[in-house]
Amino acid sequence: MCALTAGKRGRRVLLLDHNTEAGAKILISGGGRCNFTNTGTVPERFISDNPHFARSALGRYKPRDFIALIEQHHIPYHEKTLGQLFCDGSARAVVRMLLNECAGAGVDIKLNCRVSDVGAGYQIQTDHGAFASESLVLATGGLSIPKLGASAFAYDVARQFGLRVTPVRPGLVPLCFDGELLALMRPLAGVSFEGEISHGRTKFREACLFTHRGMSGPAVLQISTYAAHSEIVVNLVPGQDAVAFLLDRKKTRPKAELRTVLGELLPQRLAGALADEIVPRAPDEVAPVPRLADMTDRALRALGEKLSGWRVTPSGDEGYIKAEVTAGGIDTRDLSSRTMMANDVPGLFVIGEAVDVTGWLGGYNFQWAWASAVAAGEAA
């Protein structure tokens, strides 16, 4: 995106990519359909040490601008949910679009090209030969999804030129648990539910999924970027007054099994697991079947409060191998928010995921990539 923008200005542009195919991360995004933007893009849905940094680029290149490019190339698309736009067909359509735009702008692209050294004055040594340029744009992302060739390249080059790098961590990543929590979650692997997960004042209501290592799903991925490894609150029944529901069922259906009643609110396997947790099975005897009439109001209130506010603390996350993005990155204090150029290094630009700007799940990080790329492409 940066290359084609600069090329259309008449700049002579060389794009170096160490992968054998262009747009590798685009191709796997959105389940292969590329969630290319989000109509709800606002700066408040991006995380950074400087929450105002993204405003300039996002304000000048909006989702409608990228949508216009998509429509210009006759790529059919649809909104899935919550403003998320996907290709009707393959993500390859987006890669073809960008490559065609680059070709029209005279951009020279070299794939399978490995950079061995970046010298002063932007002397670039590669296995395809040496190149020199007036400007250098770092657009190599972060550490997430190493199987696609993700590396610390952008951070290393930035440090070489004196730029600071904030602490990085996996973002939009499944969470892991241990001990009793994992013992409860592991048998539920594959069970999904709509939940609301919060950390402080930040909350997300979307699908949640139990895994063999803990929890995943959109709501979990979203909160992971905010919560890191601290306590989160899981509402298993958002929109429901669980305490009132259980006390009402005790009055109207006192002989009903707890498992059955919980099954009105939750997936059956989850309802069964929670019911068994309330009345644990002894090692050598058959546990009694818990019925609502056998439970005190106090016990039902405690259960209802847990359903609405289950406090859990992850033991960790599944790391960069499963992370959608890398949170943190090249310090925004060292970059111009208007041009993405380094304040003290003329001609050096950093864009996209390599910068300390991380968006929500659902097309936000692509929109930041397009917007920051255009900002740099108009100035480099």
Cβ contact 57:42 at 8 Å: no
Q: Give the CATH fold of the 2-169+328-377 domain.
A: FAD/NAD(P)-binding domain (3.50.50)
Q: Look-up: residue for tokens 């058959």?
A: 286
pLDDT of residue 271: 95
Q: What is the pLDDT of residues 114-132, one digit of tens each?
A: 999 999 989 999 999 999 9
Q: Averaged over 47-73, what is the pLDDT? A: 98
Cβ contact 267:275 at 8 Å: no
Residue 229: pLDDT band by 50, 70, 90 thresholds? confident
Q: Alpha-carbon distance 327 to 45, whole Å?
A: 13
Percent of the chain scoring above 70 in pLDDT:
97
Nearest to 289 by CA among 259, 264, 329: 259
Q: Alpha-carbon distance 299 to 249, whole Å?
A: 14
Q: Alpha-carbon distance 61 to 373, whole Å?
A: 10
Q: Which residues contact 206 (CB under 8 A, 6 or more apart)?
A: 82, 194, 195, 217, 218, 219, 222
Using the predicted structure, report yes or no on whether residue 228 has a pLDDT greater than 80: no
Start and end residues for every CATH 3.50.50.60 domain found in the chain: 2-169+328-377
Cβ contact 60:82 at 8 Å: no
Amino acid at 371: A
Rounded to whole angstroms, what are the CA distances from 101 to 6, 106, 141, 221?
11, 9, 21, 33
Cross-strand bridge partners of residue 173: none
Q: What is the pLDDT of residues 168-211, one digit of tens each?
A: 999 999 999 999 999 999 999 999 999 999 999 999 999 999 99
pLDDT of residue 288: 62
Q: Averaged over 8-34, what is the pLDDT? A: 96
Cβ contact 2:380 at 8 Å: yes
Using the predicted structure, report yes or no on whether residue 43 has a pLDDT greater than 70: yes
Q: Averaged over 79-103, what is the pLDDT? A: 97
Residue 1: pLDDT band by 50, 70, 90 thresholds? very high
Q: Is the dihedral of CA 12, 37, 211, 226 positive or negative?
A: positive
pLDDT of residue 290: 75
pLDDT of residue 287: 58
Using the predicted structure, report yes or no on whether residue 280 has a pLDDT greater than 80: no
Q: What is the pLDDT of residues 327-336, one digit of tens each?
A: 999 999 999 9
Q: Please count the CA atoms within 13 angstroms of the CA of 43 that sit on its side-chain side.
A: 16
Helix, coil or strand: residue 226: helix
Start and end residues for every CATH 2.40.30.10 domain found in the chain: 174-318
Q: What is the pLDDT of residues 282-313, one digit of tens each?
A: 555 555 667 899 899 999 999 999 999 999 99
Q: Averaged over 34-49, what is the pLDDT? A: 98
Rounded to whole angstroms, what are the CA distances from 75 to 99, 273, 296, 335, 366?
14, 46, 60, 34, 17
Q: Averaged over 333-348, what is the pLDDT? A: 98
Q: What is the pLDDT of residues 104-118, one digit of tens each?
A: 999 999 999 999 999
Dump the DSSP string for 115-165.
EEEEETTTEEEEBTEEEE-S-EEE----SS-GGGT--SHHHHHHHHTT--B
CATH number of 174-318: 2.40.30.10
φ, ψ of residue 5 to 5 degrees: the values are -65, -45
Q: Averaged over 345-370, what is the pLDDT? A: 98
